[in-house]
Amino acid sequence: NHFNAAIFGFLRGIDSNSTWFEDAKSILDDVSNILEEDLSLSKTGSSATQYRNDLRECQKLLRDARTLRLEADKLCEQWQERLNNEESIPEIERAEAETKVKEADAKANEAFDKALNHARNDTRLEHQIKLSKGYAELKKLLQGYVKDSSKKPRGPAEYSFKAALVGVGAKFLTHHGGNDLTTDNGMDVMENFDDAASFAEQSYPEESEEGKKIRDFFELCRQLAKDLAELLSFMKSQKKCNENDFLDRLDKFLKSWDAALPDKKYFLKLHHLIFHVIEFIKQYGMYGRVSAEGFEAIHALIKKLKEMSQSQSTLNRIKTTNGKAQAVMKPQVMAATDKYTKGSTGKKRGTYKRKPSTQSTDAAESLEAYKTVTVGGEEFIEVFGGEGRIPKKYEDLWRLLTTSFVPPAWVELFQSSTTIPQDKKRKICSTGELNLN
């Protein structure tokens, strides 16, 4: 995983200077300026002054409309109360009262229509309000995106490498940030590293400076992946081993590590590998057979036992766990459990057809085309269910920031690749793993 993180760090350095990421930073500056100038209620510029005046006029029209609506509702209540209290009302009075109620209601509706027409047609106030909301959210998302802590790819290199890893069988541990692999899965990926590297190298033109750097880097990483896979396979083997075989593989690995990652500092596990594993192998002539992996499953059992009792007292927890365990051994409980197990056990279900996550409103929106409107000759897309609005030219950026759906050009790079087999491409697309976080 340290190797994996170093590769992503290198590719992020390349993508940080990409046109895509530079444009994103430029858009952040533009959006901030628009919010602080043209869409500000406190600035004195011509656009801001017009926006402020239009807003004040609309607020006045809305106040008038609300006043008329309250008067109409009050008149209607008074007439309804009279109808309930009086047994008979002369037809002339009835007609006059009903006419007054209808006229008051129509006048209130007309006032609201006037305010709406002012916002939509007479001015661009509605557009500016929606634009303000859309820009405010876009600014917040971009501020998070440009931070070093952001997990979203900054360009095609990061994305293509992660997509390629998924294509060769990587299963990422999302609770560790999204880029970590299990030991077994990591070994599988190392054995197929050449395919992933070949695909990632296509993210920039071969003749470009970025393309040359990526290809030189991955040439070193290929050798490191090969030596690392060989070393890990040796260490996980259940067979007896000797220190010379281990030292040969360790020496090859460390040379490849220093060549590919000269600036990467040694970490605790690497220190353990270099200085302590050899002593263990010398003494016992084995390593894989007594590794921690064999008994790490006990953690799941311990967690399950803890869940049987929520008490903070160790004594009470032991008593509760023991009582529940003893209860399961009762004949009547065992008979009921056996009956339930037989009744609920049947033919295994097939695999589920998973779809891309739509947990958020924006994620659901992004699976379909946004509604497009044209204002002043420029196209905009509506977001937040029509309550917000941003320029259509920012659509790909908005999708990436809200749902991690990457730009079509990046996906085309993946789909046009001859490195990853078609069956693996279909599998990734069907599970939604192509749109990576």
Residues whose CB falls within 8 Å of the CB of residue 154, separated by 6 or more in sequence, listed in order = 12, 15, 16, 18, 20, 21, 24
Query: Which of the 8 DSSP states describes residue 265?
Result: P
- Alpha helix segments (H runs only) across 124-276: 125-145, 156-167, 183-191, 193-200, 209-236, 243-260, 268-275
Express each pLDDT in 245-294 by its tens digit: 889 998 999 999 999 888 888 788 888 888 888 888 888 887 766 666 55
Residue 121: Cβ-neighbour burial (10 angstroms; 0-12, 13-18, 19+):
exposed
With bands split at pLDDT 50, 70 and 90, how would you rate the model's confidence at 431?
very low
- The owner of tokens 């302590």 is 276
Express each pLDDT in 88-130 by its tens digit: 888 888 888 888 889 988 988 888 888 777 766 666 777 788 8
Query: 193, 196, 144, 151: which is closest to 174 by C-alpha?
Result: 151
Express each pLDDT in 326-373 by its tens digit: 887 888 878 888 887 777 766 655 554 444 433 334 444 444 578 898
The C-alpha atoms of residue 167 and residue 98 are separated, in whole angstroms, by: 73
Quote the pLDDT of residue 13: 92
Phi, psi dihedral angles at 350 (to 5 degrees): -75, 180
* pLDDT greater than 90 at residue 392: yes
Coarse DSSP helix, strand, coil percentages of the chain, rounded to the nearest 5 percent: 70, 5, 25
Give the range among 41-45, 153-157, 271-275 with minimum mean pLDDT.
41-45
Reduced to 3 states (helix: H, G, I; strand: E, B; else coil), residue 173 is strand
Task: Compute the CA torsion angle 401, 403, 408, 411 (nearest 10 deg).
Answer: 110
With bands split at pLDDT 50, 70 and 90, how would you rate the model's confidence at 426?
low
* pLDDT greater than 50 at residue 413: yes
* pLDDT greater than 70 at residue 159: yes
